[in-house]
Amino acid sequence: MPQKFDIHIIGCGSALPTRKHLPSCQAVDVRDKLLLLDCGEGAQLAWRKTGLNWQRITHIFLTHAHGDHVFGLPGFLSTMGLLGRTAPLYLHGPSSLQTYVEFMKAHFFADISYDLHFEAVDTTQHRCIFEDRSMEVWSLPLKHRLPCCGYLIKEKPGQRHIQREMIDFYEIPTWAINNIKAGQDWTTATGEVIANSRLTSPADPVRSYAYCSDTMPVAGLTEWCQGVDLMYHEATYAEAERALAQKYFHSTAHQAAEVAHAAKVKRLLLGHFSSRYEDEQLLLNEAKEVFPETLLAHEELKITL
């Protein structure tokens, strides 16, 4: 069974509040480490519905300094303090947000029980900005009204799977197993070399998730997000409002689908819906004309990769 790689949608509306949507926030659960993507107002209030543990959040990635992506952050950070967090927390985002985080901390939660680190992201570069044993996070330069970047979360390749019956057959000792999982052949006592491919089956395919909000269509995503399992792409407007999308540096659902098609992603998830649409079926239909494997985001949606 593959290890966890789940996307939890906490909010997928845009700036104006509606009865239906919260502003942008997502949690990504990679092998029980939680990454938060943006933190719109109300994120801490909605968090409990996810059933996820506050203390497993290790990193928060922020896309840009618009209120609907960051006004939930002070409450989220101070609540983690009230809950007794001691593990350090790492924030990543455009440098302008560092001032905001530092101001809020100094004025409202200077005495929190954990260390808060801010790492500025160069939103003009596609770079690996974080990695650990199991994943890499890459910045995705986006085009919005102010510095903005999305994030690509990629698993690192896992180990090959041992074929238990072959291990038993060749009486391979326990100490050798990790080398074989890593790809080594096995040499028996009689000198026979057993090819690794006979002893193991391939590692699980590497999974990846791209979070692209807020942005106009960006050509670079075709290459950076090539073949990802899931792409979340903002789809603020329908085609009829294409001029507005252009004016405000947003995308239509149709444009989001064109990006997904060009990048040959497996599935496209639409979000960041304008408050003008009571029902986003129109957006879904317009996207599916270009890219059939499209889904609408909604609060409390969980997608397992």
Q: Is 164 in the site for a copy of itself (CB under 8 A)?
A: no
| Distance separating alpha carbons of residues 280 and 235, to the nearest angstrom | 10
- Selected binder of a copy of itself within 6, 33, 58, 71 (CB under 8 A): 71
- Selected binder of a copy of itself within 25, 72, 116, 121 (CB under 8 A): 72
Q: Is 159 in the site for a copy of itself (CB under 8 A)?
A: no
Nearer to a copy of itself, 45 or 162 (CB): 45
Least distance from C-beta 165 to a copy of itself, angstroms? 50
Nearer to a copy of itself, 41 or 229 (CB): 41
- Selected binder of a copy of itself within 3, 99, 188, 201 (CB under 8 A): 99
Q: Which amino acid is at 19?
A: R
Q: Residues 68, 122, 132, 168: which is the catalytic one?
A: 68
- Selected binder of a copy of itself within 2, 3, 16, 302 (CB under 8 A): 16
Nearer to a copy of itself, 16 or 182 (CB): 16
Give CB contacts under 8 A, 24+ apart, made by 284-287.
284/253, 286/238, 286/239, 286/252, 286/253, 286/254, 286/257, 287/235, 287/253, 287/254, 287/256, 287/257, 287/260
CB 238 within 8 A of CB 283: yes
Q: Is 66 in the site for a copy of itself (CB under 8 A)?
A: yes
- Of 25-33, 66-74, 207-215, 290-298, the window that binds a copy of itself (rule: CB under 8 A) is 66-74
| Distance separating alpha carbons of residues 183 and 195, to the nearest angstrom | 9
Q: Is 114 in the site for a copy of itself (CB under 8 A)?
A: no
Which helix (H) or strand (E) segment holds residue 230: the answer is strand 230-234
- Of 40-48, 167-175, 194-202, 225-233, the window that binds a copy of itself (rule: CB under 8 A) is 40-48
Strands 25-30 and 5-11: antiparallel
Residue among 186, 178, 184, 182 at smallest CA distance from 160: 182
Give CB contacts under 8 A, 24+ apart, made by 50-56.
50/8, 50/10, 50/300, 50/302, 52/8, 52/27, 54/79, 54/80, 54/83, 54/85, 55/80, 55/83, 55/85, 55/87, 56/32
- Selected binder of a copy of itself within 90, 100, 170, 248 (CB under 8 A): 100
Q: Is 244 in the site for a copy of itself (CB under 8 A)?
A: no
Residue 187 zone, left/alpha/beta (φ > 0; ψ -120 to 50; rest): beta
- Selected binder of a copy of itself within 2, 32, 49, 179 (CB under 8 A): 49
- Selected binder of a copy of itself within 3, 86, 96, 188 (CB under 8 A): 96
- Selected binder of a copy of itself within 55, 58, 78, 159 (CB under 8 A): 78
* Catalytic (active site) residue 68: yes
Q: How many helices (H) and strands (E) does the chain have?
A: 11, 18
Residue 135, number of CB atoms within 10 A of its CB: 21
Q: Is 48 in the site for a copy of itself (CB under 8 A)?
A: yes
- Contact set with a copy of itself (CB under 8 A): 15-19, 22, 41-42, 44-45, 47-49, 65-68, 71-72, 74-75, 78-79, 82-83, 96, 99-100, 103, 107-109
Catalytic residues: 68
